[in-house]
């Protein structure tokens, strides 16, 4: 994990049931900790920066259903 290269402890959570234990471990670990939480690519997590966009293009809230359908269609072709 990249955290190790910077002298940090790295903790990864790849499913929802691992998030709380990962955070609990992070809080009791001395020194800097990076918690890597994997989120399904189809989840809309806010705020988000669109692919290829700058931080000034940040999306702060859930897009409309039409925009969501358009995003899914552009990525899947369906």
Q: What is the pLDDT of residue 19?
A: 96
Predicted confidence at residue 59, as pLDDT, reads: 83
pLDDT 10s digit of each residue in the chain, 78 long? 689 899 999 999 999 999 999 999 999 999 999 999 998 877 777 788 888 889 998 888 776 766 777 777 787 776
pTM for this one? 0.60
Question: Do strands 9-13 and 33-37 pair parallel, antiparallel, or not at all (unpaired)?
Answer: parallel
* The pLDDT of residue 65: 65
- Give me the pLDDT at residue 49, please: 87
Burial 57-71 (b: 16+ CB within 10 A, else e): eeeeeeeeeeeeeee
List helix spans (H) across the chain. Answer: 2-5, 19-28, 65-76
């Amino acid at each position: 994990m990249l955290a190790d290269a910077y002298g940090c402890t790295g903790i990864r959570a790849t499913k929802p049931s691992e998030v709380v234990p990962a955070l609990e471990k992070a809080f009791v670990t001395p020194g800097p900790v990076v918690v890597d939480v994997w989120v399904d690519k189809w989840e809309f997590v806010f705020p988000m920066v669109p692919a290829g966009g700058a931080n000034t293009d940040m999306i702060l809230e859930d897009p409309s259903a039409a925009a969501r359908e358009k995003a899914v269609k552009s990525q899947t072709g369906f």
